[in-house]
Amino acid sequence: MVPFDRLEEAHARRSVLSDRSFIAAIYCATIVFVAVVVGLFVMLFAGSWPAIQSFGLKFFWTSSWNPVTSQFGALPMIYGTVVSSAIAILLAGFVGVYAAAYLADFAPRLVARPLSFLIELLAAVPSVVFGLWGLFVLSPVLRDRADPFLEAHFGFVPLFSGPIFGTSLLTAGVILAIMIVPTVCAISRDVIMAVLAEHREGSLALGATRWETMWRVILPGAKSGIFGACVLALGRALGETIATTMVIGNKPAIAASLFQPSYTLASVIANEFTEATTALYQSALIELGLLLFLVSMVVNGFARLLTWTVLRPSRGR
Amino acid sequence: MISPIPVPTTGQIHVPARAARLVVEDLTALYGNRVALAGVSIAFPEQSVTALIGPSGCGKSTFLRCLNRIHEAAGTATVRGRVLLDGQDIYAPEVNPIVIRRRVGMVFQRANPFPTMSILDDVTTGLRYAGRARTRMERVEQAERVLRMAALWDEVKDKLNQPGIALSGGQQQRLCIARALAVNPDILLMDEPTSALDPIATAQIEELITSLADAYTMVCVSHNMQQAARISDFTAFMLAGSDYVGHLVEVGETDKIFTRPQDQRTEDYITGRFG
């Protein structure tokens, strides 16, 4: 029996060794993420140091963006970023969740499969293509039809009043909504289907209609997952650059009306990086990048917090 | 015949001494083109428990799901034949399945309290679907009534506002029974209600089933023959094989089925020769 024992021992030793090297490998792979986040932050912070030094907190709440006089205030871009993303998530949230509910429960299988595929395909379209389409198709439609309609019926709200521009905050919001709606829809559909499998019949057996089942049992059960989908989508909207740049009008000013052009953090960086001739100009652009990084982080962190606290009981088992 | 394979016609309409509230005539259930069970005829007497037994895949769960029209909620599932509830065919075109599901309650294999609801909301969900119990006081009143029936009131009366999913498995299942009772059904269907529970919780549920039999017509699928023998007044044995679809082999008083079955296959099954 001795040779067998020895063989087994050697095998066990080899197993321990391979186990250790495997653990080391996955450990290293994970470290990469930490290193990237820290590296990004350090680079952004170091690069924006001159701008932070010369403008301090004024950078966040002044509105003049004038490279010629070296005056840099980021407030219009913060406003443009937040508002365009807010419009996007409002539109995409409603449409995405409703479409997900339809695909998960109401659509016949023959319809649901190709539709789901189509929606996932939409997520794969490059953003520059959305930008082109937004500029040449969506923007004229909004300018000539949708915006005048909104102004005629909701003109008493400052958001929907004033002169109408084709490239505007609203156009950017709508194009962002179209870009992120597949994310909202695809993830929400999966979450809804998971809740559905367990609770659909329980509700139907009590004499519920399918609508009541969806509205009172399934959607509440899926809300933390749906919320997660929305946060993911919002992250994409906040950072989206090229499509926004093509349709938002690129004007660093805050206007009350959504029909006016605006600017986003990402768009400024993309547009002006090549022309940033002075060190301070370049540093101000990097500080915009830092800001975008922080805004995304705060949004994500806030959403996490909300998922943990407010939505906690819905997680179940 | 819809079925491409021969269907034995052993399912006689069993007419027991007590009046039958639910009568099934020549029922065939399909998933798409696939026949899950065929030619089932049986009557369920009131104020009694009828156990449905048979090996896995014999169609007993599918059969149960035909009795409250939840079978058809699964996409391509369809039904032929008649199911008479107090003489009215529940598959008649003018009948609304939602009304049927209120009169024929159902408890599932796995306890499924609604994930976001408090115990109070969960128990009264069916009432709210029916547009009843609009005020909180009415809901608490109704909840107490059915939770007492389900022998759960004393355990949950101080935590009606806590989520139902925080309860133990057995408590969750009794919550689901209470929830089904809240809409005042005439019939109560149970699909292996104890299969996910420990022996103590199982005993509690069995006791509950026996006590509810005084007021309800109950049909209970069971994978456990001892359980069927303990809780039921009547037992129906179903079977499916490689060359025939699920069908009813034999039905009768539980004592007789377990001591002197008429059919050789029933005897083979209950003596543990297969299944």
Q: The domain containing residue A251 runs over which residues?
A: 59-315
Give the Cα separation of B249 and B226 in Å (integer). Answer: 19
Determine, for residues A208 and B129 on separate chains, whether the beta-carbon distance falls below 8 Å: yes
Of A199, A209, A216, the CB nearest to B112: A199
Smallest Cα distance from B261 to chain A, Å: 34
8 Å CB contact between A80 and A165: no
Render pLDDT for B235-248 as a digit per residue (tens, 0 to 9).
999 999 878 889 99
Same domain? For A293 and A273 the reply is yes
pLDDT at B3: 34
A199 chain-B contacts, CB cut-off 8 A: 112, 114-115
A20 domain-assigned: yes
B97 contact partners, CB below 8 Å, separation of at least 6: B69, B72, B90
pLDDT at B238: 94
The dihedral through the CA atoms of A243, A248, A249, A251 has a sign that is: negative
User: Does A215 reside within a domain?
Assistant: yes
Specify the residue for token string 């419009």: A87
Tell which wins on pLDDT, B273 or A22: A22
- Those residues of chain A that have pLDDT short of 70 are 1-4, 309-317
Distance CA B150, CA B179 (A): 9
**Placement of tokens 């819809």 in the chain:** B2
Domain count, chain A: 2
CB of A225 within 8 Å of a chain B CB? The answer is no
**CA dist list (Å): A292 to A41, A55, A269, B84:** 11, 17, 10, 66
B98 closest CB neighbour out of A109, A207, A216: A207
Is A281 found in the same domain as A178? yes
CATH code at position A71: 1.10.3720.10
Which residue has tokens 């129906």?
B236
**Residue B202 — very low, low, confident or very high, per pLDDT cuts 50/70/90?**
very high
Q: Could you give the ipTM of this predicted complex?
A: 0.89
Q: Domain residues of chain B, as ranges?
A: 20-270
Asked whether residue A162 falls in the same domain as residue A290, the answer is yes
Residue A85 and residue A220 in one domain: yes
Percent of chain B residues past pLDDT 70, beyond the cut: 93
Q: Is the pLDDT of residue B107 over 90?
A: yes
Residues A291 and A142 occupy one common structural domain = yes
Q: Are residues A125 and A250 in the same domain?
A: yes
What are the tens digits of pLDDT across the range B140-182? 999 999 999 999 999 999 999 999 999 999 999 999 999 999 9
**CB–CB of A231/A88 below 8 Å?**
no
- According to the model, what pLDDT value does residue B153 have? 95
- Domain identity same for A233 and A88: yes
Fold observed for domain B20-270: Rossmann fold (3.40.50)
Residue A230 and residue A120 share a domain: yes
Dist. CA B87–CA A141, nearest whole Å: 61
Q: Which of B99, B114, B167 to mutate to test the interface with A (most CBs of A within 10 A)?
A: B114
Question: Rounded mean pLDDT of chain B?
Answer: 89
Q: Is residue A54 part of a domain?
A: no
pLDDT at B84 over 50: yes
**Contact present, B10 and B175 (Cβ < 8 Å):** no
Q: CA B68, B70, B224, B6: dihedral to nearest 10 degrees?
A: 90
State the pairing for strand pair B34-45/B49-53. Answer: unpaired
